[in-house]
Amino acid sequence: MKFGLSVLAFVIVSFLHADSFSHPHVFIDNSLKIVFNEKGLTGINLKWIFDEMFSGMIIYEFDKNKNRKFEAPEIEKIKKGAFEHLKNFDYFTYIKINGQQFKVRYVQGFSASICKNKVIYNFFVPCHVTAISTFKEVRISIYDKENYCNISLAQNNSVQFENISSIDFHHQIAKNTEEPYYFGMLFPEEIILKFRGKNG
According to DSSP, the residues that pair with 114 across neighbouring strands are 119
Residue 169, phi then psi, degrees to nearest 5: -150, 165
* Beta strands, E only, 65-198: 93-97, 100-102, 108-115, 118-130, 136-142, 149-153, 159-162, 167-175, 189-197
pLDDT digits over 173-189, tens only?
Answer: 999 999 999 999 999 99
Which residues, including other chains, have CB under 8 Å from residue 84's CB and lie 6 or more apart? none
**Reported pTM:** 0.89
CA distance 175 to 141: 10
pLDDT digits over 55-91, tens only?
Answer: 999 999 999 999 999 999 999 999 999 999 999 999 9
